[in-house]
Amino acid sequence: MKDKEVLSYLMDRYKKSNGKRKKMLYASILALRKRIPQKPKEQSEVLSIYNIYNCPCCEEGVGIYNIEREEWSYQNEYCPECGQHISWEGIDSE
């Protein structure tokens, strides 16, 4: 079973539950979400020679691309702060 399928199952259960069970499902949903790669947010108001990318969950920096040198200063696969899996698909080719 894929993570996304499990997630939609948990979400469905979550909507129908309450009390302690609901809290436990919520914690599971948050943990599972971090495993599913999400695109980083691009920061706009920055020095023009850099593209800065932040975690979509907690805003921690997850990557810096140097436009002038055309290379990544760093590019994390996981957020160092919250552990969110980051998807870089299609970003370095822009």
Q: Could you say which of 40, 55, 63, 86 contacts Zn ion (CB under 5 A)?
A: 55
CA 38 to chain centre: 4
Q: Which C-beta is closer to Zn ion: that of 52 or that of 79?
A: 79
The 60-79 site mask, x for binding Zn ion (CB under 5 A), equals x------------------x
Does 57 sit near Zn ion (CB under 5 A)?
yes
Q: Are 24 and 8 in contact (CB under 8 A)?
A: no
CA 31 to chain centre: 12
Q: Could you say which of 58, 66, 73, 74 contacts Zn ion (CB under 5 A)?
A: 58
Cα end-to-end span (Å), the chain = 33
Q: Which C-beta is closer to Zn ion: that of 10 or that of 82?
A: 82
Spatial separation of the C-alpha atoms in residues 25 and 69, rounded to whole Å? 46
Q: Which C-beta is closer to Zn ion: that of 51 or that of 84?
A: 84
